[in-house]
Structure 1
Amino acid sequence: MAGPLSGHTALVTGAARGIGLAIATRLAEAGAHAIIHDRDVVAADAATTDLRAKGLAASTLIADLAEAAAPSAMAAELKANGNEPDILVLCASVETLETWDAVSEAAMAAQTEINLHATVRLLQAFLPGMLMRGFGRIIAIGSVQEARPNPTHFHYAATKAAQSNMILDLARTLRAPDVTCNIIRPGAILTDRNRAVLGQPGREEQVLARIPLGRLGRADDCAGVALLLCSREGSYINGAEIAVDGGMRL
């Protein structure tokens, strides 16, 4: 489909549902070939099928980012298929709700592996190609927890803040005229991951009390920002930390 992103390929990690799927859909609607990455084969294939049914360009890429070799294998597969991405949206993450005194070794390991180590490996796998071709868009999906963490997000918030530090470091040091690195920080977005938490007695009311707009966000609320950052109109935005949280960080 022709559009402002025609000719571009967007790899969105964790894109089988939620914010990742919303972003992948919006980029595909703008003409990009959307690569739906996930470790859930059924959900990823279903998302790709839905996009194709709408006449959009999409394909599935299955990999478990907890495996150190996954990003390099992903890069080799995409290169073999002629789908090397010039847009990388880092959406896949692990979020375990634990307070400081109850953080488990397993939760620390999983969140650090996916939120931090996989970020580095994905950048190493795909950023060199962007630099060589002279165009690239790196977008990390951060979290409002970086600015105002809940007690239950002790380790998760730290890993997301560290991921953002990596992206800002690249934004400052790459010095490539058309390769940008930015961060989108969602707040309380009504995704499958958050529904279970918000379904706890009194929890939704508690969250809404912290949001100046007085309502929860939608996954689509993040998609328009991602499109701007990938488009010509957003080509001079670099090193931005864009909150999509209804003011929850304030």
Structure 2
Amino acid sequence: MAGQLSGRVALVTGAARGIGLAIATRFAEAGAHAIIHDRDEAAATATATDLRTRGLAASPLIADLAEATAPLAMAAELTANGTEPDILVLCASVENLQTWDAISEAAMAAQTQINLHATVRLLQVFVPAMLARGSGRVIAIGSVQEARPNPTHVYYAATKAAQTNMILNLARTLRAPDVTCNIIQPGAILTDRNRAVLAQPGRQEQVLARIPLGRLGRADDCAGIALLLCSPEGSYINGAEIAVDGGLRL
């Protein structure tokens, strides 16, 4: 609904494509100023330009979350532009497909750095201002892999489960009347990241057989619940783990 997020500023990490793009777009359509974060400058700039062409408020924010100083630099730029976020969506992640006996040091380091370390840094940088204002929303994009991991996702699933634990910890301990922390756990969503995997012979049929609804999800399927969590109607939802997976976790 237009105007649901009027006056709000939403920072969505990894927002140049996939689920992040769908959520940032829905927020902008609801009246928020969408901060399109990505390490891909061309993609983030193009996304923000497209939204502004539609008469929506959006700005690109370029940063590599693998760098420990990135969140502080992001905050400084947003403060200078007068766009401090009161909504933070943690969507950027690294997903390496390796079995438990073949996980490389590089894969472990990359997934830990983005999925866990960057999460902590972003929370440390942006949540204090929400607490000071007395209002804010934090959403982490988890994964169905937390509940039903594949053999090739053992480490990725572990990092996502750890991220969820962090968010639930904050949901319980921040104790601010209007600062909520929730998790959206997508299932098999047809994003660019998943297309190559699903294109493997027989893979899509195998996945569809496990989904009670019998179809793959769309990135937009995650945007509506994100909007609810950040709207006035969702203000009493805190510490929720919301699956958007067509029943795949069952």
TM-score range, shorter chain: over 0.9
Aligned equivalent of 1:11: 11
Find the counterpart in structure 1 of residue 147 from structure 2: 147
Task: Specify the alignment match of 2:104 in structure 1.
Answer: 104
- TM-score relative to the length of structure 2: 0.99
Instruction: State the partner residue of 1:65.
Output: 65
State the match for 2:37 in structure 1: 37
CA distance in 2, matches of 1:197, 1:43: 22
Q: Distance in 2 between matches of 1:117 and 1:86?
A: 21
Deviating above 2 A after TM superposition, structure 1's stretches of 4 or more consecutive aligned residues are none
Name 1:48's counterpart in structure 2: 48
Residue 101 of structure 1: SS of its match in structure 2?
Answer: coil
Distance in 2 between the 1:119 and 1:109 partners?
14
Matched, 1:82 2:82: yes
Instruction: After superposition, give the CA deviation of every residue in 1:123-178 in whole Å (9 maximum; x if it has no partner).
Output: 00100000001110000000000000000001000000000000000000000000
CA distance, structure 2, for counterparts of residue 162 and residue 35 of structure 1: 26
Taking only the aligned residue pairs, the percentage that are identical comes to 86
Instruction: Give the equivalent residue in structure 1 for 2:118.
Output: 118
Amino acid at match of 1:43: A
What's the counterpart of residue 208 of structure 2?
208
Partner amino acid, structure 1, of 2:247 = G
The aligned residue for residue 177 of structure 2 is 177
Deviations 1:63-122 (A, max 9, x none): 000000000110111001100000000000000000000000000000000000000000
Q: Counterpart of 2:212 in structure 1: which amino acid?
A: P
Q: Aligned letter for 1:87?
A: I
Q: What corresponds to 1:243 in structure 2?
A: 243
Query: 1:241 corresponds to which letter in structure 2?
Result: E
What SS does the aligned partner of 1:209 have? helix
- Matches of 2:31 and 2:191, distance apart in 1: 25
Q: 1:2, CA displacement in angstroms? A: 6.1
Query: 1:130 maps to what in 2?
Result: 130
* d(CA) in 2 for partners of 1:49, 1:197: 30
Amino acid of the structure 2 residue aligned with 1:207: V
Tell me the amino acid that sits aligned with residue 112 of structure 2.
T
Q: How far apart in 2 are the matches of 1:152 and 1:87? A: 32
Q: Tell me how far 1:224 sits from its aligned partner.
A: 0.1
Take 1:131 and 1:28, find their aligned partners in 2: how far apart are those partners? 23
Computed over aligned residues only, the root mean square deviation of the Cα atoms, in angstroms, reads 0.9
Q: Secondary structure at the match of 1:109?
A: helix
